[in-house]
Amino acid sequence: MLEQFRKFGRELFLQGVNSSHSGNISVRMGDRIVITRRGSMLSDLSERDLIETGLEEDDSHIVLASTEVKIHRAIYRATSALAVVHAHPPAAVALSFTGDSIRPIDTEGIYYFKSIPVIATELTVGSDEVAEKLPPVLADYKVALLRGHGSFAVGQMLEEAFQWTSSLEATCRVILFARMLGLEAGEASEEW
């Protein structure tokens, strides 16, 4: 498991979707979750950065877990996800200020996402409001954005949640480039 956390933690940094100490990732193992340590450096994780705690119940390890553990738990309770990746992808965060959802315009983005919902909350870090609003959205979407904060992606395994994060940023960059060229792109439209 450490190998997986190390691999995708490092990739998130290398791809520029996290700064040195931002983001957190977790996996669910039944009624337990393993989540990165609060303040850990995702590009250089070691065994002590992986914190196991309960999905429903706290134990002593909770003091070591990421600040976002509440959000991860809420996502696992509301969805069938087995892995969650939280990142701060800059292009996606920039676009999150422009609407309530983002509609991909490139082939990869259209292929993977019907749209990317944007959720606005007063407090965006580890708040009850996020824990309430975000998980139901992730029951419907692979990835969602918290306005001005970052992305949460879900999957059956870490690689999948990582992929949605990476693809999200790629598709948002294409929209930004298209807009820089003066094209209208990425606005929400009706979803089927």
Partner 1 sequence: MPYNGPMGGWHGKALKVDLTRGTVKGFPLEEELLRDWLGGRGLGVRLLAERGPGIDPLSPENPLIFATGPLTATPVPTAGRFCLVSRSPLTGTVFDSNSGGRFGVKLKRCGVDALMITGRASAPVYLYLTERTAEIRDASDLWGREVPEVTEALREELGGDCSVACIGSAGEKGALLAAVMNDVHRAAARGGLGAVMGSKNLKAVAADGSAEVATADPERLRYIIRESRRWIKANPVTSRGLPLYGTAILVNLLNELGAFPSRNFRHSSFPEAEKISGEVLAETLLIRRKACWGCPIGCARMTRAGGERGEGPEYETIWALGAQCGVSDLEAVARADYLCNKAGLDTISTGSTIGCAMELAEKGLLPGGPRFGSASDMLGCVRAAAEGTGLGRELARGSMRLAEGRGAPGLAMQVKGLELPAYDPRGLQGQGLSFATSNRGGCHLRAYLVGPEVLGIPKLVDRFSTGDKPGLTIFYQHINAAVDSLVLCRFLQFSVSDDHLARFLSAVTGIRFRAADLHRIGERIWNLERSFNLACGIDASQDTLPPRLLREPVEEGPARGRVVLLHEMLPSYYRARGWTQEGVPGGAKLSELGVPRFVS
Please tell me whether residue 52 adopts helix, strand or coil conformation. Answer: strand
Query: Cβ 72 to partner 1, closest distance in Å?
Result: 14
| Helices assigned H by DSSP within the chain | 2-14, 69-78, 90-95, 107-112, 128-138, 158-180
Fill in the amino acid letter for 135.
Answer: P
C-alpha–C-alpha distance, residues 67 and 127, integer Å: 9
By CB under 8 A, is residue 157 in contact with partner 1? yes
Query: What one-character DSSP code corresponds to residue 154?
Result: E
Among 19, 43, 126, 159, binds partner 1 (CB under 8 A): 159
By CB under 8 A, is residue 145 in contact with partner 1? no
Binding mask 38-67 for partner 1 (x = CB under 8 A): ------------------------------
By CB under 8 A, is residue 30 in contact with partner 1? yes
By CB under 8 A, is residue 27 in contact with partner 1? yes
C-alpha–C-alpha distance, residues 28 and 52, integer Å: 10
Contacts to partner 1 by CB under 8 A = 1, 27-31, 78-80, 82, 111, 139-142, 155-157, 159-160, 163, 192
